[in-house]
Amino acid sequence: MVTAVSVLTILPIAVYKSIPVDQREELPNTSGFDMYEVVAVIYWASSILNPLVYAIRMQAFRKALRNLVCKSTEPTRVTPLHPHTMP
């Protein structure tokens, strides 16, 4: 699933980069924005989509993410390490 999302987000920029430069400049620009900007945003969306796919598909990832984001109401107790007790 993650591989499929990665391929779908990388494929547009790969196709765009495979078009020769002189032909890229001839692409219609009727919408008011550059085609490269569109495929770059799709490529960057992979950074957002991959963690979402992991969160949806993997329970352990959801739990770890929840522990990272949510604060515990109970303080965690840390036992101090005394240098003179170390072997």
Is 83 part of any domain? no
DSSP assignment, residue 87? -
pLDDT tier at 79 (50, 70, 90 boundaries)? Answer: low
Is 27 part of any domain? no
Q: What is the pLDDT of residue 23?
A: 79
DSSP assignment, residue 20? -
Is 66 part of any domain? yes
Best mean pLDDT range from 12-16, 26-30, 67-71, 83-87: 12-16
Is 65 part of any domain? yes
Give alpha helix (H) positions in 19-34. Answer: 21-24
Strand, coil or helix: 54: helix
Is 28 part of any domain? no
Quote the number of domains for the chain.
Answer: 1
Higher per-residue pLDDT: 50 or 76: 50
pLDDT higher than 60, residue 81: yes
- Structural domain for 16, as ranges: 2-21+36-72
The mean pLDDT of the chain is: 76
pLDDT tier at 35 (50, 70, 90 boundaries)? Answer: confident
Taken in order 28, 32, 35, 39, is the CA torsion positive or negative?
A: negative
